[in-house]
Amino acid sequence: MLGLTQSYVTPLALELKATTQQIGLLASIPSLTIALSQLVAANLSERAGSRKRFILPVAFMHALMFIPVLLVHFLFHNSVWWLIGFVTLGAVFNSLANPAWGSMMADLVPERLRGRYFGTRGMIAGLITLVFFFIGGGILQASTGVDIFWGYAILFGGACLFRLISVFFLSRQYEPVQAKQNENSPGMLTLLKSLGSTNLGKFILFIALIDLCTNISAPFFSVFMLRDLHFSYLKFTIINSASSISSMLFLRYWGRRADTAGNMAVIRFSSIFIPIVPLFWLFSTNPVYLMGANVVSQFGWAGLSLCCINFAYDASEPSLRTKQLALFNATDLSACFVGSLTGGFIAMHLPVLFGYQLRSLFTLSGVLRAVVILVLLRRITEVRRVPKITTWQLLTGRFGNSRN
């Protein structure tokens, strides 16, 4: 499902003649609605009586939402706005299940194995995503010059089918007994107010601000390649494949290290790369160079993305985990909304840098990421008992002489 869709929604919008501002809205509006949905997701899961009983129907509805997306060009006038609406609705259905699913997985996977398990899981998922990313790019390339929208219809129709298959496997998954909440457990508003005073709350704010700064530029790399550089779908697919392949490899690499060295050790090191990533796009438009930039990017992002959710699992309380993960998602996605909306509206008002306005946007994003990391990262502490290690030990995975 992901391989056929996640990199091709923005290109579909460009085929529908979306403006830069509409691309920003396509990225930001789903983030806002998802964030709002997270505020009720935990309560809806509790009312369903079981996490799995709540996950299955919303995952099924998510699958069905690919159908109007594939029909948008054929049935609707002002297609871009309809696309934004259907993508938003599908994203909400998908996201409603996330806190319950995360809570269930945290109960299923022992703490000492989470890095390796989710790293291996990410590697397997990445391989399948990569295969179907190439298939999707090939379908679009073959459709160019015939009717590109039939190519998109095949992609999103396939995504619907594969999502339905995933719902079947979710229905076969074992659900462990969930820890009971205290009758006087805090509500979402109380948890929200404590964001700045707890270790988990500070971490949530850190990730949210990183993603805000990242989303100022993130939706526009596809625009830069397809609209400004006039890359073909084939070239676009090959460049993005470097991200998928390297992420797949680095997830397992970081997972093994996080289990021993702790999630924060990986997060602190991988965060060094996060501000540098958009700056690579300033100096060359050579496809081979951009592929290399994507590899370096994923070395940092794979470590941060894997360990941030594992840290949230570790730092959350079992009885409150669904609510705390919902708050994590709501805060982060609200920040993504602000970032994407900001990027969409300022992109065309920035000065040209090295021949392109979007390069100014990439630079701004990188600088802001650096500020957030320098100010906030040192305020967060590891919650597990882990050995003290050097950077060399972290990179090589040799922890024999480490001290607790």
CB neighbours of 225 closer than 8 A, spacing ≥ 6? Answer: 231, 235, 236, 239, 290
Q: Are 59 and 163 in contact (CB under 8 A)?
A: yes
Length of the chain: 404
pLDDT, tens digit (0-9, with 9 covering 90-100), for 324-375: 888 888 899 889 889 988 998 898 889 999 999 999 999 999 999 999 999 9
pLDDT class of 404 with cuts at 50, 70, 90: very low
State the average pLDDT over residues 198-203.
92
Q: Is the predicted pLDDT of residue 203 greater than 60, yes or no?
A: yes
Residue bearing the bigger pLDDT, 186 or 3: 3
Q: Name the DSSP class of 390.
A: -
157 class by beta-carbon count within 10 Å (0-12 exposed, 13-18 middle, 19+ buried): middle
Q: What pLDDT is attached to residue 66?
A: 95
> What span, in angstroms and rounded, lies between the C-alpha atoms of 380 and 388?
16
The residues that bridge with 356 in the sheet, in sequence order, are 353
Q: What pLDDT is attached to residue 190?
A: 73
**Under the phi-then-psi rule, with left for phi > 0, alpha for psi from -120 to 50, and beta for the rest, what region is 387?**
beta
CB neighbours of 283 closer than 8 A, spacing ≥ 6? Answer: 289, 354
Residue matched to tokens 């597990």:
384
> What span, in angstroms and rounded, lies between the C-alpha atoms of 83 and 323?
31
Q: What pLDDT is attached to residue 154?
A: 94
Whether the predicted model's global pTM rises above the 0.85 cut: no
> What span, in angstroms and rounded, lies between the C-alpha atoms of 384 and 58?
34
User: Domain 2-173+190-396 adopts which CATH fold?
Assistant: Growth Hormone; Chain: A; (1.20.1250)
DSSP state string for 327-360:
HHHHHHHHHHHHHHHHHHHHGGGSPPBTTBSHHH
> What span, in angstroms and rounded, lies between the C-alpha atoms of 290 and 136?
20
Q: Are 157 and 149 in contact (CB under 8 A)?
A: no
Q: Is 231 helix (H, G, I), strand (E, B) or coil?
A: coil
Phi, psi of 359 (to 5 degrees): -70, -30
Q: Are 324 and 42 in contact (CB under 8 A)?
A: no
**In this structure, how many other beta carbons lie within 10 angstroms of the beta carbon of residue 290?**
23
272, 269, 278, 271: which is closest to 214 by C-alpha? 278
Q: Is the predicted pLDDT of residue 402 greater than 60, yes or no?
A: no
Residue bearing the bigger pLDDT, 319 or 284: 284
Residue bearing the bigger pLDDT, 185 or 254: 254
Residue bearing the bigger pLDDT, 287 or 146: 287
Q: Is the predicted pLDDT of residue 86 greater than 90, yes or no?
A: yes
State the average pLDDT over residues 244-268.
89
> What span, in angstroms and rounded, lies between the C-alpha atoms of 274 and 11?
25
State the average pLDDT over residues 151-166.
95
Q: Is 388 helix (H, G, I), strand (E, B) or coil?
A: strand
pLDDT, tens digit (0-9, with 9 covering 90-100), for 215-228: 999 889 988 998 89
> What span, in angstroms and rounded, lies between the C-alpha atoms of 139 and 133?
10
pLDDT class of 213 with cuts at 50, 70, 90: very high
> What span, in angstroms and rounded, lies between the C-alpha atoms of 323 and 95?
14
Q: Are 125 and 137 in contact (CB under 8 A)?
A: no
Domain boundaries, the chain: 2-173+190-396
> What span, in angstroms and rounded, lies between the C-alpha atoms of 327 and 40?
10
Mean pLDDT of the chain: 88
Q: What pLDDT is attached to residue 183?
A: 58
Q: Are 100 and 54 in contact (CB under 8 A)?
A: yes
Q: With helix as H, strand as E and coil as C, how does 168-193 read?
A: HHHHCCCCCCCCCCCCCCCCHHHHHH
Query: Helix H segments across 144-286?
Result: 148-171, 188-193, 199-215, 221-223, 233-261, 263-270
> What span, in angstroms and rounded, lies between the C-alpha atoms of 347 and 217?
9
Amino acid at 380: I
> What span, in angstroms and rounded, lies between the C-alpha atoms of 81 and 22?
8
360, 276, 316, 356: which is closest to 111 by C-alpha? 316
The angle at the Cα of 177, spanning 165 to 198, to the nearest 5 degrees, equals 100
Residue bearing the bigger pLDDT, 38 or 274: 274
